Amino acid sequence: MIPTITAFKASPDGGKGMARDMPVRWAFEEVNQPYKVRLVTFDEMKQTPHLSLQPFGQIPTYEEGNLVLFESGAIVHHIARSHKGLLPGDVEAGARAVSWMFSAMSTIEPPILDFETAGYFERDKNWYDERKLMLKDRIRFRLDRLSTRLGNKDWLEGKFSAGDLMMITVLRRLKNSGLLEEYMNLFEYVSRGEARPAFRRAFSAQLEVFKESQKEI
């Protein structure tokens, strides 16, 4: 059965592949699993049919037969567990890859989200510049350690895994902040991920949706 995911009908990210259907599309492409996409508007996301799939009225969701999933990390994990290629077969190596998935979303991403959110909602406050410096330092605190751990390796645990997929997805949010450029190995790590054919296919697919949405405006 071909799984169906949901994505923004008109993504506010300007086609940059920042919305969270992107890691799910990328995972599908890595394991060569065809998938369908149902596009939803902001209004539809907040109505009962979608809320019964995603309790918080967000994208992405995943449907396959009776299985309904939400949370991009959980969906990528499910795809990785059900196909070969994104999680090492060895139990311990697989668990290490999952540790990186969790750390991407629960250790690296929160200070990045705080920084983004401040940019959206606090820019006009007289304390914004000071807060921005503090938030950037909190991100650096994490990137320092991540950069040290990655060192000169291509991927976090030898072979590319779902851990790298989620980590690169999160680090991509730092584009245009200047922070990634401070860590050349992390900058190159993200570029390496984005150069993967599976990433390129996923990116093009979401970009097509964005271009279509622009035609309708």
- Residues forming contacts to ligand GTB in the complex (CB under 6 A) are 12-13, 18-20, 57-60, 71-73
Q: How far is the CB of 7 from ligand GTB (least distance, A)?
A: 9
Residue 74 or 184 having the CB closest to ligand GTB: 74
CB-CB neighbours of 124 under 10 Å:
6
Q: How far is the CB of 197 from ligand GTB (least distance, A)?
A: 24
Q: How far is the CB of 177 from ligand GTB (least distance, A)?
A: 13
The pair phi, psi for residue 174, each rounded to 5°, is -85, 0
- Cα–Cα distance measured from residue 37 to residue 195, given in angstroms and rounded to the nearest whole number: 23
Q: How far is the CB of 162 from ligand GTB (least distance, A)?
A: 14
Q: Token pair for residue 116?
A: 């983004």
Q: Token pair for residue 120?
A: 């959206």
Helices (H), 104-183: 109-121, 128-150, 162-171
Residue 71 or 182 having the CB closest to ligand GTB: 71
Residue 105 or 186 having the CB closest to ligand GTB: 105
**Beta 67-70 vs 36-40: how paired, if at all?**
unpaired
Q: Token pair for residue 191?
A: 């570029």
Closest-CB residue for ligand GTB?
58
Residue 38 or 93 having the CB closest to ligand GTB: 38
